[in-house]
Amino acid sequence: MPSTHVSLHSHLVFSTKGRLPLISANWRKRLHAYLGGIVNGLGGVPLAIGGTVDHVHLLIGFRSSHRLDYFLRDLKADSSEWIHRELNLSFAWQKGYGAFSVSPANLDRVTKYVVNQESHHRRITFQEEYLHLLKISGVEYDERYVW
* CATH, residue 126: 3.30.70.1290
| Count of structural domains within the chain | 1
Does 16 reside within a domain?
A: yes
Does 3 reside within a domain?
A: no
Does 45 reside within a domain?
A: yes
Whether the model clears a pTM of 0.85, i.e. scores above it, the answer is yes
What CA–CA distance (Å, rounded) separates 47 from 56? 14
Task: Give backbone dihedrals phi and psi of 100, rounded to 5 degrees, phi first.
Answer: -125, 130
Does 2 reside within a domain?
A: no
Does 108 reside within a domain?
A: yes
- The tens digit of pLDDT for each residue in 12-56 reads 999 999 999 999 999 999 999 999 999 999 999 999 999 999 999
Q: Residue 130 belongs to what H/E stretch?
A: helix 126-136
pLDDT of residue 140: 92
What is the span of the domain harbouring residue 81?
Answer: 8-145
pLDDT of residue 22: 97
Neighbours of 92 (CB within 10 A): 14
What CA–CA distance (Å, rounded) separates 5 from 31? 31
Does 85 reside within a domain?
A: yes
For the cut 80, the answer to whether the pLDDT of residue 1 exceeds it is no
The number of residues making up the chain comes to 147
Does 102 reside within a domain?
A: yes
